[in-house]
Amino acid sequence: MTTLEQMGANAKSAARVLLTAGELKNKALLQIADALIENTDTIVKANEIDLKAARENGTRESLIDRLTLTPARIEGMADGVRQVAGLPDPVGKVLDGTVRPNGLKIEKVRVPLGVIAIIYEARPNVTSDAAALCLKSGNAVILRGGKEAINSNKCIADIMRKAVEKAGLPADCIGLVEDTSRESSVELMQLTKYVDVLIPRGGAGLIRAVVENSKVPVIETGAGNCHIFVDESANIDMAVNIINNAKTSRPSVCNAIETILIHKNIAEKALPAIKAKLDEKSVTLRCCERSSKILSNVESADENDWYTEYGDYILAVKVVDSIDEAIQHISKYSTGHSEAIITESYSSAQKFTDEVDSAAVYVNASTRFTDGGEFGLGAEIGIATQKLHARGPMGLNELTSMKFIIRGSGQIR
C-alpha cells in the first residue's frame, strides 16, 4: 500500500464511524474552533515559513496576501467552523417515502457521500473551511493543498486531527496529503477504491486538469464567464447600476460579469451612460463593431474576448439584434455560471429564464449574488458549473448522497 492508499483506507474507516456520529460531529467542530484559537501562535509561526519561502521565490504580493494568516484571520477561520457547527445536520433527512401495494415501506434518506477529496491552491483557510463542511455532512475528507501553503496546512490539519480525536471521533476523519508533488495529485485522482468524490477548488488550470484526469467522480466548480443582457425595455439607470456592481465590486471573482450584450434599440442611449459609470473605475471596454461606433476611447473585441474570463477591470460589449441573439451568444460562449437580463418586459423575462441554461439566471439583479451565503445556504464549498449532482452554490446538502431503506415483512418478488 502506498501512503496515499493507506490514507484512503483510513479515511474510509473513519467515514463508517461518521455515518452514525450524530452530535459528536458538532462537538468535534467546536473543539476544532477552540484549538485553532489556542494554537494561534503555532499557526502563525508555521505560516511564516511558507511566507518566507514565497518571498524568496518572488511570489507576487496578491498571492502572498492570500497566503498570509494573522491572528485575526485565524479567528475568522474558527468563527467559520463554529458557524458550520450551528447549521442543521443534513444527514438522516427523509427525502421521500411511500408504501407500495405489496406493503413494502420505502424511504429515501439523506446519507453522507463517504470520503471527499479536495484539491486546492494557495489559501490555507480552505483547510479548515472544507474540513468543517465535510465533517458536518458526515464525510471523511482528504485535503490536498498546494506546496506554497504546506507548512501552514500541516499545522492546521494536525491541530484539527487532535481536536477531532479529543471529541471522540477518529483523527482520520481529516487527512492531509503532505506530498505536494504532481504525482500525489494524480494518484489521488485515481483512488476510486477509497474516494467517493473529488472537488477541485482553485484556478481554471487546476480545475481543467482535475476534470480531464480524474477517475474519481468530480464536482466541477468555479469558472465564470458571466453575462448581462440589456433588453430594449430595460430601465437604463437600473442597467447602469447593476452592470457597474457586477463588473467592479470584485472583478476577480467567478460571479463577476465579463460581457454585456445590449439590444440594438437601446444601445445608443444606454451605452454612453454605462461607459460613463464604468469610467469612474477605469474599466476597459472591448467593443464589437457596432458598439465601437457608438462609443469612443474603447478597444476592439475579437472572437477570443467572448470566451474570456478576464477577472479584471475589462468588459466585453456586444450589440445584438434580438433577445434570441443574446440567448444564442450566451449558449455558445458562457461557462454556465450566472447570467442576468435587465428588462421591464414580462415576456422577455420569461423567455430569458426559460431558455438560458446556466446555474443561476437573474432578472433585474446583479450576478454577484450567486453565492451560498447570499442564497441562504448557510455555507458554501464552491459553485458547481456542471449539471450532474450539484449546480450553483453548493452547501451541506450537496455534500450528501441518499439511500433507499426498504422495510418489509417477508415480501418476495
Residues lying near a copy of itself in the complex (CB under 8 A) are found at 16, 19-20, 98, 100, 104, 106, 111, 113-114, 192, 196-197, 211-212, 215, 217-219, 235, 238, 241-242, 244-246, 249, 331, 349, 353-355, 357-366, 368-370, 374-376, 386-389, 391-392, 401-413
CB of 28 to a copy of itself, least distance (A): 19
CB of 155 to a copy of itself, least distance (A): 32
CB of 388 to a copy of itself, least distance (A): 5
CB atoms within 10 A of CB 388: 10
Between 147 and 387, name the residue whose CB sits nearer to a copy of itself: 387
CA distance 72 to 86: 21
Between 7 and 246, name the residue whose CB sits nearer to a copy of itself: 246
- Burial of residue 13 (CB within 10 Å: 0-12, 13-18, 19+) is middle
Calculate ∠ Cα 338-395-91, nearest 5°: 150
CA distance 244 to 231: 16
Sign of CA dihedral 128, 130, 133, 135: negative
Between 77 and 257, name the residue whose CB sits nearer to a copy of itself: 257
The C-alpha cell that represents 405 in the structure block: 431503506
Between 186 and 406, name the residue whose CB sits nearer to a copy of itself: 406
Between 9 and 64, name the residue whose CB sits nearer to a copy of itself: 9
The C-alpha cell that represents 86 in the structure block: 450551528
Answer yes or no: are the C-beta atoms of 402 and 110 closer than 8 Å. Answer: yes
CA distance 382 to 150: 22
CB of 134 to a copy of itself, least distance (A): 14
The C-alpha cell that represents 349 in the structure block: 423575462
DSSP letter (8 states) at residue 124: T
CB of 103 to a copy of itself, least distance (A): 9
Torsion of CA 312, 48, 78, 175, to 10 degrees: 90
Between 123 and 337, name the residue whose CB sits nearer to a copy of itself: 337
Question: Cβ neighbours of residue 383 under 8 Å, at least 6 residues apart?
Answer: 221, 222, 224, 254, 255, 337, 359, 370, 371, 372, 392, 393, 394
Between 38 and 96, name the residue whose CB sits nearer to a copy of itself: 96
CB of 108 to a copy of itself, least distance (A): 8
CB of 8 to a copy of itself, least distance (A): 14
CA distance 223 to 66: 19
Three-class SS state of 339? strand
Between 249 and 322, name the residue whose CB sits nearer to a copy of itself: 249
Between 19 and 298, name the residue whose CB sits nearer to a copy of itself: 19
Answer yes or no: are the C-beta atoms of 126 and 225 closer than 8 Å. Answer: no
Report the amino acid identity of residue 264: K
DSSP letter (8 states) at residue 233: T
CA distance 411 to 393: 42
CB of 364 to a copy of itself, least distance (A): 5
CB of 358 to a copy of itself, least distance (A): 7
CB of 38 to a copy of itself, least distance (A): 34
CA distance 23 to 35: 19
Q: Between the CA of residue 346 and those of 353, 397, 403, what are the distances in Å?
A: 11, 33, 41
The C-alpha cell that represents 292 in the structure block: 465601437
Between 196 and 258, name the residue whose CB sits nearer to a copy of itself: 196
